[in-house]
Amino acid sequence: MDWKDYGTEAIINAVCRNSELKNGAIIRMHLGTENTAEALEAIILNLKERGYDFVPLSEFL
């Protein structure tokens, strides 16, 4: 829901506190939104600290 521009913290919380987040999850984020780019670094750092890795969608599928 990053495209609704609820704010940076709301985007971070929506991803990092999502009860459905698990291995194999796909996190879709939109280009051109006001707060997504700002939230991205915090999301990546949080998830890496929790042991998640990131792969291109083409590799995952």
Q: How confident is the model at residue 2 (pLDDT cuts 50, 70, 90)?
A: low
Spatial CA neighbour of 35 closest among 14, 11, 15, 1:
11
Cβ partners under 8 Å of residue 20, min gap 6: none
Residue ranges making up the domain that contains 30: 2-60
Q: For residue 1, is pLDDT > 70?
A: no
pTM of the model: 0.81
Give ∠ CA 36-5-49 in degrees, rounded to 5.
35
Quote the number of domains for the chain: 1
pLDDT digits (tens, 9 = 90+) for 19-58: 999 999 998 887 878 888 899 999 999 999 999 999 888 8
pLDDT on residue 3: 64
